[in-house]
Chains A and B, each alone.
Chain A
Amino acid sequence: KNEVEQSPQNLTAQEGEFITINCSYSVGISALHWLQQHPGGGIVSLFMLSSGKKKHGRLIATINIQEKHSSLHITASHPRDSAVYICAARAGGTSYGKLTFGQGTILTVHP
């Protein structure tokens, strides 16, 4: 079992729908990252959070440290949101920012 588990692995939505991607982790962390990888292949960091909630435009990320769970929400989804979304747990302590990745969620938003 992977230390970081994402669900669902594949997600298809219609434009305008509210989307939730979940991430559970079993390791102790200093922070949880959400990354976006577009079909072109580049990876962009969306959020880094260690508690509570962060919002950027239509994207919202939340984390519950006690439950070791994070969610990424997309409001009013758009076809340009189609991408692979990856959560990554950043180890704490002296592990110098080592990231352990989830398997990724492939999101397809249809017009």
Chain B
Amino acid sequence: DTAVSQTPKYLVTQMGNDKSIKCEQNLGHDTMYWYKQDSKKFLKIMFSYNNKELIINETVPNRFSPKSPDKAHLNLHINSLELGDSAVYFCASSLGGSSQPQHFGDGTRLSIL
């Protein structure tokens, strides 16, 4: 059973479109994260939710909007996609904030044409 699952795994779309990436975890964790990995493989935190409440919101364009319908799900919606949004997006989860390891999904590779 996949612990942290993201869908889709690959997403190819045109500039200007709106798209969503879904993340679900079955670990019973209460904290979920979205990370962006750029073409140089550098990872950076975007958002974090704890029990459906936004707790980390880094400097991310407001075209990116996370939504957590419950603590097992954290979806990422992106409006008006731009070329610079091409990256791999990773979802992760942990139990509690700073004292537990994070479990990562397999990533969603987003390519903007």
* Known contacts A42-B107, A43-B104: A96-B41 contact under CB 8 Å: no
Interface residue tally on B, bucketed by range: 20 to 34
Q: Which B residues touch A30, using CB under 8 A?
A: 98-99
Number of A-B contacts (CB under 8 A): 70
In residues 84-105 of chain B, which contact A (Cβ within 8 Å)?
Answer: 88, 90, 92, 94, 96-104
- A97 CA to B35 CA, complexed, in Å: 13
Determine the main DSSP class of B at the interface with A: strand
B25 at the A/B interface (Cβ < 8 Å)? Answer: no
The winner among B41, B100, B109 for most chain A CB atoms within 10 A is B41
- Taking Cβ atoms with an 8 Å cutoff, the residues of A that contact B are 30-31, 33, 35, 37, 41-45, 48, 84, 86, 88, 90-93, 95-101, 103-104
- Taking Cβ atoms with an 8 Å cutoff, the residues of B that contact A are 31, 33, 35, 40-45, 48, 50, 55-56, 88, 90, 92, 94, 96-104, 106-107, 109
